[in-house]
Structure 1
Amino acid sequence: MHEAAEEPESKASFRDLGSQGVQRLPSVLRVRVRRLWLSLVPIAQCAIAAGLAWFVAFDLLHHARPFFAPIAAVVSLGLSLARRWRRSAELIVGVSIGILVGDLVVTQIGSGAWQITVVVAAAMALAVFVDGGPMLPTQAASSAVLIATLLPPGGAASYQRAVDALVGGCIGLLVGALVPVNPARRARRDAAGILNTLRDLSHDLAEALRARDEDAVYRVLAAARGTQPAVDGLRADILAGREVGTLSPLYWASRDRLRKIAATADPIDNAVRNFRVVTRRALGLTQRGVAVEEPMIDIIEDIGGLFETLRAMMLAEPGQPPDPADAAREVRSVVRRARTSLADHVEDLSEAALLVELRSLLVDLLMVAGLKRSSAIAQLHLNK
């Protein structure tokens, strides 16, 4: 789960100084700066691809007004790193369908308001028939409208427009391969961010249970429910990383590392869901005035420490601790303390159910640390 080589000390120090400067900004501005920072490479890719697409279509192929080429390049890349192959294919096919339908229909019935209605309906219907992708009908309709309103149908221009779309889509993929985003770094950062949030929420939940503060437990639950976009982002970046690892020779060596990161996506997702279940169970106990036993609260506190260890594991440089074996060792130590015997003397069955949910969460954490599900469950059976 590490980068291929350690970063130079000066580069890391510069990045740390920049990070500290961003942290001092107001929260609203900090979010925007972070969003821009994460988008800089995709923006650069789109800009380079658009310029190259125009150069090839206009200067090399001598097409008049080849605006489809840079548009296709930008749309095929976009700011989202996932499914670029799919977007490029949908764009090229959609533009071709729109041009074909627009040329045929406008040549026969002319242009005007009702003709546009016919052209859009026909182009979108054919696109939906060809494929169910979301971009295909939109691109087909847009291209058909351009033919019906601004561009003369028929002749070499129609052929050139289809070629321009092909040029733009292919250049977009080429630029994505030659100016890539590191396929492992973003996914590692996503995973670490989720684990960091769960660490803080675990500590907050333990404090709320000790204080028997119903409102504080509810705030933890609300925050846990808000983590789903981060989980979705992790999955999207893993998918994007796989595409980069396939397309870019620069990162072919990263495929195995990315595969290991991808293996943590389901356990992290399950850990988030199980943590929500734990928090809902804790909320129910607090609402009924049940005081959760201190050993149980200690387990929740310890789980917060495990989330921190797993977060550090995700971000650790090559050869630096903690590695997956270190993380698994720490999780096992908490598993040994989370024995079912903790619930032998509880008065409320929901408190026993809380322990069951905590043990299920520990299975997820063992899997994040690299164990298979069967091995993780076996660890629980060894420590009943």
Structure 2
Amino acid sequence: MAGEVSGRRTRPARTGRMARVRRWWGRALGSEGHERSTVLLIAKGTLAATIAWVISYHLLHAQSPAFAPFSAVLIMQVTVYQSLLQSSRYVGAVVAGVAVQAALGFLVGPDVPAFALMALVALTIGRWPALGSQGSQVATAAFFAFSTYVSATSTLDKVTQLGQIILLVLIGCGIGVLVNVTVLPPLRYRSAEHGIRTLAHALCDLVSDIYPALRERGLDEERTGRWRARAEQTGELVTQARTGLRMARESLHYNPRRLFRRGRAHTYFEGYAAVLEALERTLRQVAALTRSLDKWSAGEDRYRYGAFLASYADFLESLSHITRVFADLDEDRLGDQTSQLHQLADEAQNYRRRLAEQAERDDLPLTDPGRPYGVLVIEAARLMEEFQYTCDVLQHHVER
């Protein structure tokens, strides 16, 4: 009986894993994204390593042929620009490491004190900021060079083997860069859109939670506290969006595929950068709004000034419609989306004006620091300015 139960538990678990695997491969084959990038990077790394091994082992008959495929895979970066940058740093680190070993090896000898001195010098050079993340390769190359040096039988053999290490690294890096450039070089046009979409989704979800509560006058302390916490936790999303935009821009450098795309990519990225900055400012304004609501404890005012809260809810709802468009931003539909955004911005402006008129009719205590009305009116004006600016700047870059 126990075995049957265990078997029944194992089969659903296996079925679930297989389903996840199928979904993963479905995403990899069906659309651009992290899954497809992973598969492509593995395939290109395999191709580059194989070519490098064939050249170093079968053609050059090198004594340490693994240096070439190792180098090819090591510099197979996500973007062509990063491949070129990291390969140049890597070659510089290897040359420095081999040079340190060559100099100390011929001057001091292949004994333990020489190794310690070589390690000291190599690790010190590896701290040079110009080498970046490849700084550790100085010591690695020096250690391998020391091993090759002590195993060589003659001075000529020592020089030949040390030179061969540099040659193999150059071959591996060259093949890695060549494969990355010629075989579907990554072009991260959608990374910028994805970051903005994620940020806009978070903003839309937050605003969409606030305005129904204002309309229903359900501003309890627990709910407003959750709004405030959510608004203050968007910093990571902003960082991710900035990283996506940087990768999108970076993927254009030295990438031959950009010749087959529209020549206005840089203009779109400028527009996306402006939108991202505007959304970041808007999130700060929404965070200030949630702080004001969280501090408000005058419950009876919700009924006395219910018409104002309803008007504020209408205004926030109109802003949520704008955020939904940003959450679906698409380069191929930017023209239509910018027109839609301007229409929605005009509607939001009307709701903001109605909000101000309602505040006048209700004779709100705008100067009372214990009540949120003055801050709410000011935040509404600032939010509208940011949304209007965001729509205008995107329209400007689309028309360029």
User: Which bin holds the TM-score, normalised by the shorter protein?
Assistant: 0.7 to 0.9
Equivalent positions of 1:58-69 (< 5 A) are 58-69=57-68
Shift of 1:203: 0.9
Q: Distance in 2 between matches of 1:112 and 1:307?
A: 68
What whole-Å deviation, never above 9, does each CA across 1:289-331 have from its counterpart, x for those lacking one?
255833223222222211111233x23646x973323323322
Unaligned runs of 5+ in 2: 1-18, 24-32, 153-157, 303-307, 366-371
1:334 counterpart = 2:341 = no
Q: Distance in 2 between matches of 1:52 and 1:360?
A: 57
1:274 counterpart = 2:278 = no
Instruction: Name the SS for the 1:64 alignment partner.
Output: coil
Q: Distance in 2 between matches of 1:252 and 1:172?
A: 22
Q: Distance in 1 between matches of 2:80 and 2:241?
A: 12
Partner residue of 2:143? 145
Is contact 1:123-1:137 (8 Å) kept? no
Equivalent positions of 1:63-78 (< 5 A) are 63-78=62-77
Q: Distance in 1 between matches of 2:131 and 2:310?
A: 53
Normalising by structure 1, we get a TM-score of 0.74
Partner residue of 1:163? 167
Larger radius of gyration: 2
Change (3 A) 1:235 1:275: closer
List, as ranges, runs of 4+ consecutive aligned residues in structure 1 with deviation greater than 6 Å: none
Count, aligned residues = 342
Equivalent positions of 1:1-384 (< 5 A) are 36-78=35-77, 83-110=82-109, 115-129=114-128, 131-149=129-147, 152=150, 154-178=158-182, 179-209=184-214, 210-254=217-261, 256-263=263-270, 264-289=272-297, 293-312=309-328, 314-315=329-330, 317=332, 322-339=336-353, 341=356, 345-347=363-365, 348=372, 349-367=374-392, 369-371=394-396
What whole-Å deviation, never above 9, does each CA across 1:310-359 have from its counterpart, x for those lacking one?
233x23646x9733233233223323433483665543432233224313
Normalising by structure 2, we get a TM-score of 0.72
Unaligned runs of 5+ in 1: 1-20, 26-33, 373-384
Letter in 1 for 2:257: L
Stretch deviating more after TM superposition (321-330 or 173-182): 321-330
Change (3 A) 1:243 1:145: same
Shift of 1:222: 3.7
Change (3 A) 1:166 1:220: farther
Q: Distance in 1 between matches of 2:364 and 2:117?
A: 71
Structural RMSD (CA): 3.5
Change (3 A) 1:287 1:224: closer
Q: Distance in 2 between matches of 1:207 and 1:197?
A: 17
Change (3 A) 1:104 1:213: farther
Q: Distance in 1 between matches of 2:52 and 2:233?
A: 40
Is contact 1:83-1:239 (8 Å) kept? no
Q: Distance in 2 between matches of 1:190 and 1:301?
A: 23
Identity of aligned residues (%): 19
Q: Distance in 1 between matches of 2:171 and 2:76?
A: 13
Instruction: Name the SS for the 1:246 alignment partner.
Output: coil
Letter in 1 for 2:356: S
Instruction: Name the SS for the 2:130 alignment partner.
Output: coil
Change (3 A) 1:95 1:200: same
Q: Distance in 2 between matches of 1:352 and 1:48?
A: 61
Instruction: Name the SS for the 1:132 alignment partner.
Output: helix
